[in-house]
Chain A
Amino acid sequence: GESVGLHLPTLSVQEGDNSIINCAYSNSASDYFIWYKQESGKGPQFIIDIRSNMDKRQGQRVTVLLNKTVKHLSLQIAATQPGDSAVYFCAEKIAGGTSYGKLTFGQGTILTVHP
């Protein structure tokens, strides 16, 4: 039968606003997390990562927060620009062991920035 597409969460913001994108991860054993941005027709682009021994990490205009208690990640984008419009994915990984480099991705969030 037909496959049903994922209904991705969407976030619409005005240019200059701050954006917060949330992600619930699945495996309490995951110890490394990455946020990716994917624009139409392109592969995922690395934005920022965080290890499980941290709860916050800042980059240029972006901040990632990790709450291991509730298995929650968030990506904050400051002063959002139209060029930030894309699908954002969180990914989790278990370093070492038999999982090796396998990344498990969230479903993604569509961010639309209006000028």
Chain B
Amino acid sequence: KAGVTQTPRYLIKTRGQQVTLSCSPISGHRSVSWYQQTPGQGLQFLFEYFSETQRNKGNFPGRFSGRQFSNSRSEMNVSTLELGDSALYLCASSLVPGSNTEAFFGQGTRLTVV
């Protein structure tokens, strides 16, 4: 079965713009989490969605937001982009949150802010 799909793979944006990234989880998986990966901070948790509701949020400013649709697909949005938002944004899906089940990652979206 298909894995986690993230689109687009690469994106270049200008400071001040906003961006929307998309994630389609593995079929049957209902939990989607987002992570930011940078050389300086490593992999950091952004937020998690389950049943169209944000269940948990990391320590990121309000410019970072997300949502989940009824088919479990998720989007994250970053407004008023800053140079420091350049990163690999990763989406992970799992069957349900809060359980001892593995999370599977997509290939990520490489965002470059210029």
Interface residues of A (CB under 8 A from B): 3-6, 31-32, 34, 36, 41-46, 49, 51, 89, 91, 93, 95-108
Contacts and interface: CB of A to CB of B under 8 A. Distances in A.
Interface string B35-60: 10011111111001010000110100
Interface of B: 4, 6, 31, 33, 35, 38-45, 48, 50, 55-56, 58, 84, 90, 92, 94, 97-100, 102-108
Given A3-B41, A44-B90, A107-B42, A100 B98 contact: yes
Nearest to A43: B105
B99 A95 contact: yes
Where chain B touches its partner, the secondary structure class is: strand
Where chain A touches its partner, the secondary structure class is: loop
B102 A102 contact: no
Contacts of B55: 100-101
Contacts of B104: 46
B40 A6 contact: yes
B58 to A, nearest CB: 7
B48 A100 contact: yes
A45 B106 CA distance: 9
A101 B42 contact: no
Contact of B102 (A3, A4, A46, A98): A46
Given A3-B84, A105-B43, A34 B103 contact: yes
A44 B35 CA distance: 11
Contacts of B99: 95-96, 101
B108 A43 contact: yes
Given A101-B50, A105-B43, A108-B43, 17 more contacts: A3-B38, A3-B41, A31-B100, A36-B105, A42-B108, A43-B90, A44-B43, A49-B102, A93-B100, A95-B98, A95-B100, A100-B48, A100-B56, A103-B33, A103-B103, A105-B35, A106-B42
Contact of A96 (B41, B92, B98): B98
B102 A97 contact: no
